[in-house]
């Protein structure tokens, strides 16, 4: 029997919001996003939410996001994430998720974040959580800028391909490994391990979990990591057992609506 690992989706599983939603405002502030992008991104996100599990919808979303990022300076994106990470992400880490990650690490398992968001966002969030291994969307870069092409889109079956490749490289026994997600789009990921659990599941995933007798976890306590560590043991995992990728579009759309509402009331 090989080693085992625990694979965590990020948005709404480990943190209580879209990872890219958190960075939408500084992206807009620094001129990476325009008002026109807001409208187009809102539509792209709506299409994904309505039918995001089929290959055509995921491909359209992938291609749109690649075009959106074309020309962005990679270093500028990394700087924005580094400057705002503790303010915009740290307060929204689920205490239950952080405790569960520590539990797996204490048991000797590697923990891997698996997210459709861009690697430039996911890796720093992983470091915040004490997780060094990430599987995330990778954009092609030329002369320090995003070229408008996607090297790897970490969504749907592609997540499983990456997880399987990592398992073969590290010697993980997937039948003895764990996976956690909130979205039915991660059904392939959940089905590729022996111990899947759903976290704050959407309606379709909750139904799937019921059909397969998968554990349903409800994470409800986003707490800054520093505060959670001071107040250990925090929220017991057992008590919780009762549920730049695609998230970029959510963030842009949210900020656009917020800005328009604020302007209207000014």
**Active-site residue list:** 9, 11
Q: Which residues pair with 135 in a beta bridge?
A: 114
* Rounded-to-integer distance, Cα 248 and Cα 22, Å: 9
The pair of structure tokens assigned to 259 is: 């800005």
Spatial neighbors of 143 by CB under 8 A, at least 6 apart, are none
In 89-232, which ranges are continuous DSSP H helix? 95-106, 119-129, 157-170, 187-191, 203-212, 225-230
Classify residue 169 as exposed, middle or buried by CB count within 10 Å of its CB (0-12, 13-18, 19+): exposed
Q: Residue with structure tokens 């891997």?
A: 112
| CA within 13 Å, CB half, 36 | 1
Closest CA to 235 of 93, 122, 127, 129: 93
Q: Is the dihedral of CA 240, 125, 156, 71 positive or negative?
A: positive
Answer for the pair 13, 97: CB distance below 8 angstroms, yes or no. Answer: yes
The pair of structure tokens assigned to 184 is: 């039915």
* Rounded-to-integer distance, Cα 97 and Cα 167, Å: 22
């Amino acid at each position: 029997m090989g080693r085992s690992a625990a694979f965590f989706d990020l948005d709404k599983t480990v943190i209580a919001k879209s990872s890219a939603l958190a960075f939408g405002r500084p992206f807009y502030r620094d001129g990476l996003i325009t008002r026109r992008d807001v409208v187009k991104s809102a539509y792209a996100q709506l299409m994904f939410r309505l039918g995001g599990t089929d290959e055509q919808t995921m491909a359209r979303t992938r291609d749109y996001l690649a075009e959106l990022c074309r020309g962005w300076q990679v270093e500028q994106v990394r700087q924005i994430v580094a400057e705002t990470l503790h303010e915009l992400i740290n307060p929204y880490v689920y205490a239950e998720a952080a405790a569960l990650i520590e539990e797996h690490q204490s048991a000797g398992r590697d923990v891997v974040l698996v997210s459709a968001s861009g690697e430039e966002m996911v890796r720093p969030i992983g470091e915040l959580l004490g997780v060094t291994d990430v599987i995330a969307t990778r954009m092609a870069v030329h002369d320090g800028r995003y070229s408008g092409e996607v090297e790897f889109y970490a969504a749907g079956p592609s997540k499983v391909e990456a997880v399987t490749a990592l398992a073969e490289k590290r010697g993980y026994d997937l039948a003895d490994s764990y996976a956690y997600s909130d979205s039915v789009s991660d059904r392939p990921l959940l089905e590729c391990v022996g111990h899947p659990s759903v976290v704050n599941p959407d309606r379709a995933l909750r139904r799937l979990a019921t059909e397969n007798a998968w554990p349903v976890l409800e994470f409800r306590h986003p707490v800054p990591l520093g505060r959670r560590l001071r107040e250990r043991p925090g929220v017991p995992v057992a008590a919780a057992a009762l549920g730049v990728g695609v998230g970029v579009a959510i963030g842009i759309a949210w900020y656009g609506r917020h800005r328009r509402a604020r302007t209207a009331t000014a």
